[in-house]
Amino acid sequence: MYLCIFMLLSMSSSRELAMTLNTPFVSAIKFDMELPVECTYADLVFLSTYKLIHTGPRLLKPIYKSIVAVMANIAPYTRKLSKEACDGLMYLVSVFTRHQFLLEKEDNCKTLTSLFECLNYLIAYHDETNQHIQVQLLKQQTLFDYIDSEEFDKKFPDLNVALQDA
């Protein structure tokens, strides 16, 4: 599993590959997850990442940063995400902003930074076609307000510096 993740991380930095992920996903293969009716390969990557972190083995925790980096690498070229993929992305934001996760390891703030970069790329480059991500951001506004609050800074004084340095 680790080898597959690192190969995917290496390949995700290719612009050509990331652009081709916008093509519709057509397959007769059955998956153990619900796929949207109109699904692209980018949706499949985002949904697979969500499922891997949500239901995958905890042995993958050390490489969460690499798994999220794959999404951050393809996000600038992702034209449109499905509602399900956006739901999964917001789930990951809620998981990676939990106190337990942030305090568990010093390096976990970099995982959160990569996830925020992914969101930033989706909005900055393709905001007109990513309506679902905008709706999800509005729904989760209280979470983002909390992250931006002084209370959050008091609980994690070093995290704010680490997020700015990353």
Domain edges within the chain: 2-165
**Radius of gyration from C-alpha coordinates of the chain:** 16
- Report how far apart, in Å, the C-alpha atoms of 23 and of each of 12, 26, 44, 89 are: 16, 9, 11, 20
Is pLDDT above 70 for 147?
A: yes
Answer yes or no: pTM beyond 0.75.
Answer: yes
Q: What's the pLDDT at 20?
A: 93
What letter would DSSP give residue 25? P
Mean pLDDT of the chain: 86
Is pLDDT above 80 for 153?
A: no
pLDDT digits (tens, 9 = 90+) for 95-109: 998 888 888 888 888
pLDDT digits (tens, 9 = 90+) for 25-44: 887 777 777 777 788 999 99
Q: What's the pLDDT at 88?
A: 92
For the residues of 41-103, what is the DSSP string, one character each? HHHHHHHHHHHHHHHS-GGGGGGHHHHHHHHHHHGGG-----HHHHHHHHHHHHHHTSHHHHH
